[in-house]
Amino acid sequence: MINGINSYSSYNYTSTFNNAPNIKSSNVVNDNSNLVSDKSQAINKVLGYGVDKDGYFTSDFNEAAGIPKDYKIHSNTMQSFLKTEANGTFQSYKNIDIAKTLGNAYKIVSQLLEKSPELSSKQSFSKEDLANYFPQNYRIDKQSGEVKQLYSYDEIKQISQSGGFKNISSNESIVPSFFTMDNEQGSTPKPFDTNILSKGYFKIDAKQYTDENGKLTKAGLLVGFLSKNVHTGITPKPLISGETTIWGKIQGLDEILSQSEVNSLDKALSGTLNLTNPKAVATFLEAMNDTDIQSFKEKMQELKSPQDNNGKSIMELIEEVIGKHLKLLLNNENKVKRSLDMKV
């Protein structure tokens, strides 16, 4: 299970705020309606942080995330994020610090806004604002995380037509602000979709991030950035902060783990694993979704088979396990269905 660190409530906490009226925001910076409620005014706790009567996190969440008080984050958003993370056969994180994760996204978004004069003083943005002034791509230092330069859509199109970026340092990356699937080879880059709260990694309720004029709030821009980019691998460092599973470590998501340690995990998967029965598949899944490296290596050794592996790669092995796991789930579902039919 993936929880918020120091969580008082799991990701599947049944929210009482789904039908609460959305707080109207103003474009005046000092208007209190733009600010999160003080933590002393919290009426409940969700994922370890206070929430106000409308379900928005109180000031303790913003303090933990390192984001200003005029970024109002709805608790449903982070619950949706964690719920999505918990789905799937393999999980990359055992625990996720939701505040630090959003803070990582803010470190980039805040720079993009600061370096965009037409947007830096705004509290909310129209689609035209985003289309005309928010950068299409940016150049960022991989180590420091400093955004060095912004590129508009027209600039990106021109660079693409001129043969691509040149004289980019090996310590720098050119990154799209909102990830979209790659265009066909040789085609002209497409501008990002200004409906940034839709078609992301996790579900976001747009009403909770729309002001009385129908504009996107700064908080909406932030959670949209996280949802579009969280698992794309395009940011210099992972946006998620938390305890990585073995699967996450193999993907290189653990910044503390050295490359040699990652290689040792790959080596533990070399050879053929005997995954011919449900118990073996369950053991493999449990080991991949756990965090203990030594235990993982021991379990993989127990699953070793003397048979030839036919040169299967790690990803081929993963796909095989997923297929077998889904087949087991389907068989169990059919058994339950037959049992119910017999009782009727």
Q: How far apart are CA 336 and CA 97, in angstroms?
A: 37
Q: How far apart are CA 321 and CA 179, in angstroms?
A: 29
User: CA distances (Å), 234 to each of 155, 174, 199, 273, in order?
Assistant: 20, 9, 17, 32
CB proximity list for 169: less than 8 A, separation 6 or greater: none
- For position 63, what pLDDT does the model report? 98
What does the pLDDT look like over 123-148, one tens digit per residue?
999 999 999 999 999 999 998 999 99
Partners of 141 in beta bridges: 172
- For position 276, what pLDDT does the model report? 76
242 has pLDDT over 90:
yes
Counting Cα atoms < 13 Å in the Cβ hemisphere of 186 gives 0
What does the pLDDT look like over 2-46, one tens digit per residue?
544 433 333 333 344 444 444 333 344 445 678 999 999 999 999
Q: How far apart are CA 245 and CA 2, in angstroms?
A: 11
End-to-end CA gap in the chain: 35
Q: Is the pTM of this model over 0.85?
A: no
Average of per-residue pLDDT across 325-331: 56
Query: What is the average pLDDT value for the chain, to the nearest integer?
Result: 82
What does the pLDDT look like over 185-211, one tens digit per residue?
445 678 999 999 998 999 999 999 999
